[in-house]
Amino acid sequence: MDNMINIKINNTPLSVPDGISILEAARYAGIEIPTLCFLKEINEIGACRLCMVEVKGARSLVTACVYPVSEGMEIFTNTEKVRTSRKHTLELILSTHNKSCLTCLRSGNCELQKLCKEFGVKDADYFAGKMPEFEFDDSAAHMIRDNSKCILCRRCVAACQMQDVSVIGANARGFDTHISSAFDKDLANVSCISCGQCIVNCPTGAIVEKDDSEKVFAAINDPEKYVIAQTAPSIRVTLGEAFGMHIGTNVQGKMVAALRRLGFDKVFDTDFAADLTIVEEATELLERVKNGGVLPMITSCSPGWIKYCEHYYPEQIPHLSTCKSPQQMFGATLKTWYAQKMNIDPKNIFVVGIMPCTAKKFETQRADQAASGYPDVDVALTTRELARMIESAGLYFPKLPDEEFDSPLGESTGAAVIFGATGGVMEAALRTAVETLTGEELKELDFVDVRGTKGIKEASYTVNGMEIKVCAASGTANAKKVMEDVKNGTSPYTFIEIMGCPGGCVNGGGQPVQPAVVRNFVDLKGQRAAALYEADRNMPIRKSHENPAIKRVYDEYFVSYGSHIAHEVLHTSYEPKPKYK
C-alpha cells in the first residue's frame, strides 16, 4: 500500500498517497483543476499555467500538475487570486488565437473553448496586439495543420515523441515560436507515419483530420455509384462516445442503422475481411515455418506501422506479411468477387471504410492496392467524420433502432472483432494456426497472455511439439524495441503483431477525441478493448476459418488459402521510404 500523508484542500482534510501531484490529489477531493498542456506520463511540463493553485506558505502560485504534495500541505484551488490568474492566462492565449470557432471542427469539443466559457472570458478582455501569421499545411494525405489555432501546449509534440517519430517540434523563439517540422518542411515531406496521435491529443483545432465526408455524400447522391460502407472492428465500441454515451458502449446496431439512413446501398462489416486476413496470414505463417521462410513474420494490418517500417526499418521489410489490411482486402473482394456476383462494373462501386485510423487515408492511396484495376477503397473516414455526418443528417443516434449488417459480407466471428485491441490479431491468428497445425479443435480459445494494454506482451506455446514464441507490441516506440532485436538477428519470436497506435485501434488517431481529464484519469484503451472482448465472448462463431461467408468466397472465387488468385487480390507489396525529419 502507498505511504499515505495528510493534507488539506480548500480547508477539507484529505489522506492521499505520498508523492502524487496536487492535480492528482485534488481528484481525491472531487476537484478538477483545469489544464491545457498536461498529459499524464506524456507531457508533464507545467507550461500552460492554467493549473496554478495557492499553497499556504509558498511565495507564489504553483503548478498543480507537477508540484508534489507533502505532509501537512494546505492547498487552495478556487481563490480570487487563482481564478484571476487562470482568466488572464486564457486571455493571453486568446490574444494570438484564431477565434473562428463557428467553423472549427473542434467547436463544442475544444478544451480551450470550454475553459473560456467556464471562466467568463469575453471579447473585451483580450489583450490586443499583433497577430502572428502562419502558413496553412494541408500537404499530408491524412491531416491539416493550422498554427493560427495552436496554443503551444506541446501535447502534439509529446505524442509524436511517444511514438518515437518526432517529426514535429517547437521552431523559432519568443513571439515567433510555432510547432512545425525541421526547417518548416511540409508534413508530406518528412517521415510522418500518419498515425494521428497528434490529433487526438491536441486540445484545440490546430490539428485535424482531412474531412472527406463531402466526397462520400457526393457519391451517395450519384445515381451511377453503388456506395458501400464497411466498418472496422473498433468503431462499434467508440462511435457512441461522440454522442455522449459511456466509454466502451457497443453501438453496432445503431451504427448500421445510421449508415443505412445516410443512404449507403449496403452496410458491411470489415470484420469479414479481418477473418479473411487471418486465414491468409495464418497460411502465410505456416508456409514460412515449414519452408524456411523469413521469420519472425510480422503482421501488416496497421498502415501507420507499415509506414514506420518503410521509413525506419526498410531493410526489415521481408519480415512483413504480404497480406493487405482488412480494409483493403474488403475493398478488393468487393470489386472482384462481389462485383461479379452482383453484375456491377467495379468502376461504379464506391467503397467507404469507416476506420479508427487516420493512416487509413494514406493507405487508400498506396501503390499495389487496386486489385480490380480501380482503388480497393475509395475513401477512408474516421470515426469522427462519421459522427459529424450523422449529426448533419439530423439523426438522433441514441434513439436509432438496432439493425443487422447486410449479408454475406456482414458475417464475421469473434476472432475478427478483437482485431481492434492490441494482441487481438495475434490471438485470432493463433486460434486458426493452432487448429491447422494440430488438426484438433481448440478447447480454450482465449489466449490471455497477449491481452491487455501493456506496450509489449510475450508468450510461448508448444504446438505439435513445436515451440512458437509470439510477441504483440503497440505504439511505434515499442515497435522500435522489438525491431532492434529483429534487426540484430536476436529476436526469439516466430510471429509478431505490431499496431501503430498505443493500445491498438481502440486508441487510433481517428477515434473520438477525449479531453485530457479523461485521458489522464480514465483507462480509455482498457474500457474500449474490454467491450470488444465481451463481443467476442458473445459471438456464436469465434474462429475465422469457421466463418461460412469465408468458406463461400473461397469455394466460389479464391479456391484455397494462399492460392494464386488470393495473392493477386488479397496480398500487396512494400517499398523503402526515405527517413528524414
46-84 pLDDT, tens digit each: 999 999 999 999 999 999 999 999 999 999 999 999 999
* Domain 4-93, CATH among 3.40.50.620, 2.160.20.10, 3.90.1150.10, 3.10.20.740: 3.10.20.740
CATH for the stretch 95-209:
3.30.70.20
Q: CA 507 to CA 504: how far, in whole Å?
A: 6
Residue 12 has pLDDT above 60, yes or no: yes
Q: Decide if domain 214-570 falls under CATH 2.30.110.10.
A: no
Please determine, for residue 163, whether its predicted confidence score (pLDDT) is greater than 80. Answer: yes
- 295 pLDDT tier (thresholds 50, 70, 90): very high
Contact 505, 474 (CB under 8 A): no
Q: How far is CA 411 from CA 136, 273, 424, 432, 455, in A?
A: 43, 10, 18, 17, 31
- Where are the extended beta strands (E) located within 370-521? 379-382, 456-463, 466-474, 495-499
- Output the pLDDT for position 44: 96
For residue 125, the model assigns a pLDDT of 63
State percent of the chain over pLDDT 70: 99
**Would you say the CATH fold of 95-209 matches that of 4-93?**
no
Q: Who contacts 28 (Cβ-Cβ below 8 Å, separation ≥6)?
A: 14, 16
- pTM to 2 decimal places: 0.95
Nearest-angstrom CA–CA distance, 128 and 94: 10
Q: Which helix (H) or strand (E) holds 319?
A: none
Task: Report percent pLDDT > 90 for the chain.
Answer: 94
Cell numbers at 239, concatenated: 462511435
pLDDT at 466: 87
- Domain range summary for the chain, segments of one domain joined by +: 4-93, 95-209, 214-570
Most confident of 89-93, 200-204, 463-467: 200-204
Residue type, 209: E
Contact 142, 210 (CB under 8 A): yes
Q: Note the pLDDT of residue 135.
A: 86
3-state secondary structure 97-150: CCCCHHHCCCCCCCHHHHHHHHCCCCHHHCCCCCCCCCCCECCCCCEEECHHHC
97, 148 contact by CB (below 8 A)? yes
Cα 471 to Cα 377: distance, rounded to the nearest angstrom? 30
Instruction: Write the burial class of residue 465 (CB in 10 Å: 0-12 exposed, 13-18 middle, 19+ buried).
Output: exposed
∠ CA 111-116-119, rounded to 5°: 125
